[in-house]
Structure formats: structure tokens, C-alpha cells
Amino acid sequence: MPETNPFADPLRFERRVPECAIVIFGANGDLTKRKLLPALYRLAYERRLPASFAIIGNSRTPLSDDAFRDKMHESVKQFLEDSPFDEELWAGFARNLYYIGGDLNDPKMYADLGTKLGTLGKSNVLYYLSTQPSYYEPVADSLGAAKLAEHRPEGWRRIVIEKPFGHDLQSARALNTGIHRVFSEDDVYRIDHYLGKETVQNIIAFRFGNGIFEPLWNRRYINHVQITAAESIGVEGRGAYYQEAGALRDMIQNHLLQVLATIAMEPSAVFEPDAVRDERAKLLRAIKTLRPEEVPLNAVAGQYRGFRQEPGVKPDAQVDTFAAATFLIDNWRWAGVPFYVRSGKKLPKRVTDIAIQFNEAPYALFSSANGSSPMRPNLLILRIQPEEGISLRFLSKQPGSGMMLRPVSMDFNYGSSFGERSPTAYETLLVDALQGDATLYTRQDMVEASWRAVQPILDDWSSRNFDFPNYEPGTWGPPAADEMLKRHGHQWRNS
Amino acid sequence: MSAEPEKILRDLRDLWVQLGHDQEASGGVLRACAMTLLVVAEDQDDAERVRRTMGVLMHDHPCRAIVLRMSEGAEVDARVFAECWVPYGGNQQICAEGVEVTAGAAKLNEVIRLLVPLIVPDLPVVLWHRGGHAFAPGGFDALFPLAGKIVFDSGTASDADAAITVLRELRKRGPRVADLAWARLTGWREVLAQTFDDCTPSVSSVWVTYGGASPSSSVRYFARWIQQALPSAAVGIESASGEPGVHSVTLSGKDTEIAITLADASSVEIRTGKRGCRFKLPPASDDALMREELGIVGDDAVFDRVLT
């Protein structure tokens, strides 16, 4: 909301969206149905969309506006999370939904789109590419050719693209070059929904809003860091897609390296989009590039038993359903501190967390209950999902005579301290893009830096023939992942 | 005094031990506390309503709730309670604690001596002074220094003007003051503000219509807020038939005609020129309004400006 609004009350009013049109390419797809439309409806429910917004859906299927509205009505009803569905509100919301059928390669479709935007009188336009990645460049080119990508004196044109941003460093660079032929980097919003999660944003608040942790946040006090994103389910019908991606590409290269950057970056001088993204990018660039001979010792690929029997998966698929890697950061703050990152499917439970293991006290004054010296008792756990929150483990004297110590945990539960409904990642990120706030979006240099960090692993794995499957569903991945940490005298937290 | 702070604190500790034992199998209970909330209930029935409201409110603002119920001639007495819930997607029970204090009006000084040690240190203290009697002179003024913020509801007062004057004078003396009658307007205000997001239309006159025999404090606040935002416009209020509260607001000027009208109990329709759109109003239950107020721990500059 501009500061000039005489009725502004930022303490009580939610951030709102300016008058605009959102054009969704791939409007018949799962993402639109499950995430985008429910998020937009929810924004309308909270009075955050202006009365005159417009959503224009596109896909190949011929549909009338009304048929599109009916389809979206069912989807929003089905996939709306933690919110009531209000038919009357929907009726008003649906009046602003429009549909243009047509192929993404057909210039006529873009001409129709231009006409529609002109009829609706929309100068601010957000293009959302919820399509196959192979369409990103052609759609950007076509928008450019149809003169739909140019900023107008009275309005902006932005483009949102979903991951994957390329499938390796080279293709990511080529994609960036292609998109930049039409849109400047300032108008490109690469969405990584992990960064839109409240609890990931809370990492920044936790680190830079408090004075007590930052002095300890370095190689002197932190022994190592573990980042885990585990899923208990398998590929759930996405086998054909997944066998082209794998855990390293699907999770680590983007989501988890962004989380790592949030954990390890320097504080920015101001909380502004480019200042924060500069720090994230600097950190990603500081990740040590593995030499080819270092890869086998620092990266582990796994595949669960049964993956090759999933629909759409080749019987000899070499793709990783589990990936673990050790990253080192070459800067003064983190030199020598391993960051262990892992992600996998069919693991024992669904959990995403970050564990920061502090060094033990310099001298072991006390014995633990069983008489042995307590090892590295201080552990800070930032839980992303489920049960979002923060736990700090420390030693306490066990009741009774004698000085026996036992680890205890101090918990902060996000849900209990702030029971209010949190906006979904897509609600947050859509409002950000519409307001031109790119803080939580990934910039070109960040994408390329994170591909550079994993590229040696991809190169090594593509030249090998793994003896898959190498882990059983319901376990924490292949034994080699444990051995990777054992070599450093560490072990995964499997709880 | 029959209720001793030490005993109440001991009872609270015992309560947590008991809750921990009861829930041991499911990982114990998580204690949550973000503030002390003192609530002055009007009577026995109101105390029951407060308990129900606290049950909802504690999910968003876990606190040590101290509910003060005045009962004519009663000695000071207290009992402890807990409100527990399992958050969505979680498996561990979360609990917040409460103390219900009963006392006769003559025992207010004893009550204050009891309350001081029960306040959770280092966290905000909010006093929710319920009902119309909150605006009577004297009364519970002695409780005010305990709180960093005092919440009233001038909508329950018989004389809106007098109630607003009481709040204005109190604010001038220093404490942060909030009024649920102001929070009831948030939906209306937000919809009106939205029409000024992208441009500032030229407005020369504004009419607010209201239901009820006389303009409520919400209606007065609304008109005053609009007047402060549009100082060159003439802002008037006029009565209409129907339920008390704001019914519509119409802004007119050269090339401008914006009308926001109550469509039903929970939504408004906004009409700008030929375009019309319906918006949902936020819920106006006590727990929803208190949830909004408890979310504001610092100064509320906009309300302060409207109040003073």
C-alpha cells in the first residue's frame, strides 16, 4: 500500500495487492488447482485483493470463462487449507476469473491475451508460468514478440517461474539468458516455496532479531550443521518426472541450499530485497566446489527398494531417491565446519529440520549418568515441519545426590505461541511478487551458484552405474550416508 | 485473606506436574505463556463467558489468565485451571494456565496484593475490563497500574460519548488504551482504505449511516477517522433503520462516487462507479476482537489519534 493512502493502518491491515491482472499459464495443472487458486481465493477472503483484480487462466483445453470458473470452484473447495469456503464470496471472486484457451506456441493465443488485457484495462500484469520448464523460454519469447512484456508508463510486467531453473549449471545459464532476452532480472521472480514458509523466514528473525545467538554463530562454537528433509512417502505417481530429476536436483540444489544460505549468510545492512539476496548469493558462492576425487567421500546417492517398480519408472533407473552431501563454506565464519545436507523419500518419517551442533565444553568437569563424559550436549534444532519450532538441548543436573548430568530440551513451539493461521507459502510469495518485493525469490546469481555447488556431484553420478536399490523403505537411507559423517567423527540425528 | 499467592503458585506448579503425568505417554505437555491477561468479569454469568472466550483465545495468545469475578460480600478466594489443546498437525498437547479470583468489591485492595505476585515477570500484562460498568467512576482504577494495556468495550456503555471521554482522559494519563468498538471497525476500514490504494480520489463529502437510536462509539470513531484522513471533506452521520452500528459509508466528489454498504451481517458490498464487489467482514466475536487487540503490544498510533 503506498504511503500516501490517507487511510493506511499497517498495524491492523494486512498487506494488500495493487490493482493488477495475474495470467496463469498452465491453468489446468495441479499447481494451479492445489496451490495458486486456493491462495488467491484466500487473499480475497482476507480482503487483500482489490475489487478490480483479474485472473486469466490459459491452457490448451478449450473452455469458456464459466467452465473455467466451475472447475476452479471445485478445486478451491477441495484444496483450501484451514479456511472456510464461502459461496457468496466465491461468486464475487469468480466474476474476476477469465480463461483463454490456446497453445503456448500459437501467436494467436498471445494476441487474444493482449486483447483481453486491453479490454480489462490492466496495466500491471504478473505472468505465472505453471507449465513444463521447457516452455519457460518460448513463453517469454512469445510475450516479448506480442509486446506484452514491456513495462508501460502506468504499469509493470513481471514473470514468475517455478523450479526447476535448469537441470544443471549450463542449462540454468541458458535459461537465464533466454528469459533475459525479454524480461530484465528485476522482473523475473523465481519461486522457491520453501523460502515462503513462515518457519524459514523465522530463521532470519531468530538469527538477526536476537542478540544472544549471533556471537556463537561461527566456527569457534559450532561443530557442524545437519539439514534434513525427509519424506515418508515415495514418488506417488510422479515417477516419470522424478526419474529425470532425483533428490539432489529436486530438493538439495534449490530448497535445501537456500535454507543453508539462510542459516549461514551474513546479516545484511538493511532488510531490503537486494541486500538480503546479496548475502544469500555471497554465501552460496562461498560453498567449496568439490574436486572430482572428493565427490565419493562427500556425496551419497541412494534409491529405495521398489522405486523401479513405480509406474513410469525405468526398470534400470539410476536416479537418486535419496541424496546426502557434505558442504564446506570457504569463508572466515565457517571455514572447517561441515554442513551435512540430506533428503530422501520413503524415510522413516516426514520431517524437515536443521540441527546446529555446538562444540562441547573445553573441559569435561562432570560425568553423565552412565559415567561417561557427556559429548557435545548443546544442540539447537530449528524445526521447519511438522511441529514448527525451536529446541535447545543442554545439560542439567539429575535430581538426587551427586553431580550427575542429563540432557534436557527447552522447546519453543511456533504453533503454540502464535496459534493464528499462518499464510501458506504461496499466499506470502504471491503478495510479494505483486508488490514487487523479491526478498524471498531466487535471483539468477543464486541459482547459478547453487548449481555450481552440486555440479561436481551431478557429473560424478552421471558417469557411474550405481548398485541400486541400496536402502529399504522406512530406513534413514543407505549405510554410506552414515559412513560419510563417521569419517568426520559425527553421526546423523535420526530422531 | 483466604487466598494466598504462595498457595496459588504452588497449585499452579502442582497442576503442571499433574498435566505432565496425565500426558506422559504422548510426550508430555508444552507450557505456553506469552503474557498475563487480567480479566474483570461483570458477574457470575460473565465469568462463564470469559472462560469460554479464554479457551479460544489461548490458542492464539497463550497466557496466564487471571479472571477476577466480583461477588458482593465474598471473601477473596481463588482456584487454578488449565486450558489445553493439540495444535493442528501436532501430537503434543499445549496448555496455558489460569486463576479465577472471586472477591467482594470491598476487598479490591486485598485482590491487588494477591495479583501482584501472580503476574508473570518479564512479559506484557493486559487488562481486559469488560462490560459497561468499566466506565463508572472509581471502580477498578486501582488495577490500571498493573497493566501495560487496558482493553475496554465502549459498545457496552449506555452513553457512547461519555465512554469515549473516559477513555480519552485515561489515555492522557498514560496507559495504553484499546477499545473493542474500534476493533469492530477493522473490516470496514480496510475495505474503505482499499479504494485509496492506487489513487486518491477527490472527495468533498462523506456520509456515514448507522442503525440504532443514537450513533454508537464505533460510528463516532469511524466518522472521526475518515475526517482525519480527508480533512477537506465534509463528514456527516445520519441514522437509518435497522440494527445498531455502521450501515454504510458514501464518499462523493468530482468524478467520485464510492459506496460501501452492509450487505448482510458478515459482508459489505463496495460500489465504485458501475463496478460492484462483495467483501467478507472479519468475525466480530469477543475472542476475534481480543485476538486482534492482543496482537498489538505497542502503541496504536491510528487509534490514539482518533481517540484524542
Other C-beta atoms within 10 Å of A474: how many?
11
Q: Is the pLDDT confidence value at A1 over 80?
A: no
Q: Where are the beta strands (DSSP E) in B32-76?
A: 36-41, 64-70
Which residue from A minimizes the CA distance to B305?
Answer: A9
Q: Is the pLDDT confidence value at A343 over 80?
A: yes
- Indicate the angle between helix axes B5-22 and B108-118, nearest 10 degrees: 50
Among residues A73, A224, A255, A490, the one annotated as catalytic is A255
Is residue A92 less than 8 Å (CB to CB) from chain B?
yes
Residue with more model confidence, A51 or A220: A220
Reported as a pLDDT band with limits 50, 70 and 90, residue B88 is low
CB A476 within 8 A of CB A348: yes
Is residue B178 less than 8 Å (CB to CB) from chain A?
no
Q: Is the backbone peptide bond immediately before A469 cis, with ω within 30 degrees of 0?
A: yes
C-alpha cell at A158: 513481471
pLDDT of residue A375: 60
Is residue B16 less than 8 Å (CB to CB) from chain A?
no
CB B157 within 8 A of CB B135: yes
Q: Is the pLDDT confidence value at A354 over 70?
A: yes
pLDDT of residue B6: 87
pLDDT of residue B19: 77
CA-CA distance, B175 to A426, in Å (whole number)?
40
H-state helical runs in A146-294: 169-180, 198-209, 239-245, 247, 257-264, 273-285
Residue with more model confidence, A280 or A121: A280
Segment A130-177, tens digit of pLDDT: 998 889 999 999 999 999 998 877 789 999 998 889 999 999 999 999
Residue with more model confidence, B12 or A81: B12
What is this model's ipTM? 0.86
Q: How far is B196 from chain A (nearest CA, A)?
A: 6
Q: Is the pLDDT confidence value at B59 over 90?
A: no
Which residue from B minimizes the CA distance to A418?
Answer: B60
Q: Is the pLDDT confidence value at A369 over 70?
A: no
Contact yes or no for A387 and B89 at CB 8 A: yes
Reported as a pLDDT band with limits 50, 70 and 90, residue B3 is confident
Other C-beta atoms within 10 Å of B242: how many?
12
- Indicate the angle between helix axes A198-209 and A257-264, nearest 10 degrees: 20
B residues 72-91 closer than 8 Å to A (CB): 87-91
Contact yes or no for B32 and A45 at CB 8 A: no
Instruction: Give the bridge partners for B128, in sequence order.
Output: B39, B151
C-alpha cell at B288: 476475534
Instruction: Sheet containing B267-272: give its strands across.
Output: B234-239, B205-211, B245-253, B256-264, B267-272, B275-280
pLDDT of residue A228: 95
Q: Is the pLDDT confidence value at A290 over 70?
A: yes
Q: Are strands B267-272 and B275-280 parallel, antiparallel or unpaired?
A: antiparallel
pLDDT of residue B167: 95
Segment A33-53, tens digit of pLDDT: 999 999 999 998 888 888 778
Q: How far is A9 from chain B (nearest CA, A)?
A: 7
Q: How far is B234 from chain A (nearest CA, A)?
A: 16
Q: Are strands A97-101 and A54-59 parallel, antiparallel or unpaired?
A: parallel
Contact yes or no for A415 and B89 at CB 8 A: yes
Q: How far is B263 from chain A (nearest CA, A)?
A: 11
CA-CA distance, B70 to B72, in Å (whole number)?
7
From the list A8, A411, A419, the residue facing B87 with the nearest CB is A419
Contact yes or no for A12 and B302 at CB 8 A: yes
DSSP assigned state of A264: H
**A459, A440, A461: which is closest to A170 by C-alpha?**
A459
Q: How far is A429 from chain B (nearest CA, A)?
A: 20
Is residue B224 less than 8 Å (CB to CB) from chain A?
no
Widest CA span in chain B: 70
Catalytic residue status for A255:
yes
pTM over 0.90? The answer is: no
CA-CA distance, A229 to A386, in Å (whole number)?
11
CB A233 within 8 A of CB A449: no
CA-CA distance, B221 to B186, in Å (whole number)?
11
pLDDT of residue A2: 46
* Residues on chain B touching A4 (C-beta within 8 angstroms): 200
Question: How far is C-alpha A228 from the chain's CA centre?
Answer: 14
B residues 197-216 closer than 8 Å to A (CB): 197-198, 200
Instruction: Give the bridge partners for A128, in sequence order.
Output: A24, A160
Contact yes or no for A413 and B30 at CB 8 A: yes
* Residues on chain B touching A418 (C-beta within 8 angstroms): 60
Q: Where are the beta strands (DSSP E) in A273-368?
A: 299-302, 322-327, 339-344, 351-358, 367-368
CA-CA distance, A84 to A34, in Å (whole number)?
16
Q: Is the pLDDT confidence value at A259 over 70?
A: yes
* Residues on chain B touching A420 (C-beta within 8 angstroms): 60, 291, 295
The residue of B186, B277, B287, B304 whose CB has the most chain A CBs within 10 angstroms, and thus the best one to mutate to test that interface, is B277
* Residues 6+ away with beta carbon under 8 Å from B87: A387, A413, A415, A416, A419, B59, B94
CB B219 within 8 A of CB B249: no
Contact yes or no for A82 and B88 at CB 8 A: yes
